[in-house]
Amino acid sequence: MHKTLAHREDERAQFQETFAWFRMKNGWQGRQEKTVLQKDICDAIGSRVCAHLWFNLTRAFASLNLQLGDVVAFDARVKAYEKGYFGRHWDVYKPAEVDYQLSHPTRVKKVLR
């Protein structure tokens, strides 16, 4: 859970993170979508806001040709979302809960190490 982001909900700010790896996920209508795992997310003053986040591989991230350990800076908005199981299987119990994410990343760029 990313509760450290809760007090910054709807705030747009600059963040910095370290690229970890790519992964595929099932997207809309079963299509495979590539995602990016970023770890050690920090705000503009260097305070750690969460351990990791997943992003869709947007054109901005793809254009960076990311390698393991690359540091990426970007602006994003902190948004709340509901997570949990919303299917129809009676034997799966995972109640919905509120978590926080960084949404709509812009000004994505690599930072020199």
Sorted by where each begins, the domain ranges of the chain are 3-111
pLDDT, residue 113, reads 61
Q: What residues contact 17, with CB distance under 8 A and at least 6 apart? A: 38, 39, 40, 41, 42, 53, 71, 72
Say how many CA atoms lie within 13 Å of 99 toward its Cβ: 13
**Segment 21-58, tens digit of pLDDT:** 999 988 778 889 999 999 999 998 999 999 999 999 99
pLDDT at 40: 94
Give me the mean pLDDT over the 54-77 stretch. 93
pLDDT the model gives residue 1: 55
Which one-letter amino acid corresponds to residue 18?
T
Classify 3-111 by CATH class. Answer: mainly beta
